Amino acid sequence: MAGGEATAWRVAAIVVGIGILIAYVVLSGRWVSTGDSWYVNLQKPWWQPPSVVFGLIWPYNFVVLGIAAVLIPLRAPTHVVAVFLGFFGASVACAIAWAYLFYVPHSLTASAIALSLAALLTIPILVAAFNAAPWLAVALLPYQVWVVIAASLSWGYVALASGRG
Question: DSSP assignment of 53-87, as one string?
Answer: HHHHHHHHHHHHHHHHHHHHHHHS-HHHHHHHHHH
pLDDT at 159 over 80: yes
The ranges assigned to domains in the chain are 3-161
CB-based contacts of 104, cutoff 8 Å, min separation 6:
31
- What's the CATH number of domain 3-161, 1.20.1260, 3.30.200, 1.10.8, 3.10.450? 1.20.1260
Question: Distance between CA atoms of 28 and 46, rounded to whole angstroms?
Answer: 24
pLDDT at 25 over 70: yes
Say what the pLDDT of residue 1 is: 62
What's the average model confidence in pLDDT over 10-26? 97
Say what the pLDDT of residue 31 is: 82
pLDDT at 3 over 90: no
Whether the pTM exceeds 0.85: the reply is yes
CB-based contacts of 109, cutoff 8 Å, min separation 6:
158
Angle at Cα 122 formed by Cα 106 and Cα 148, nearest 5°?
A: 55
Residue spans of alpha helices (H) in 32-50: 37-41
Q: Single out the residue of 162, 161, 90, 158 nearest to residue 124, CA to CA.
A: 90
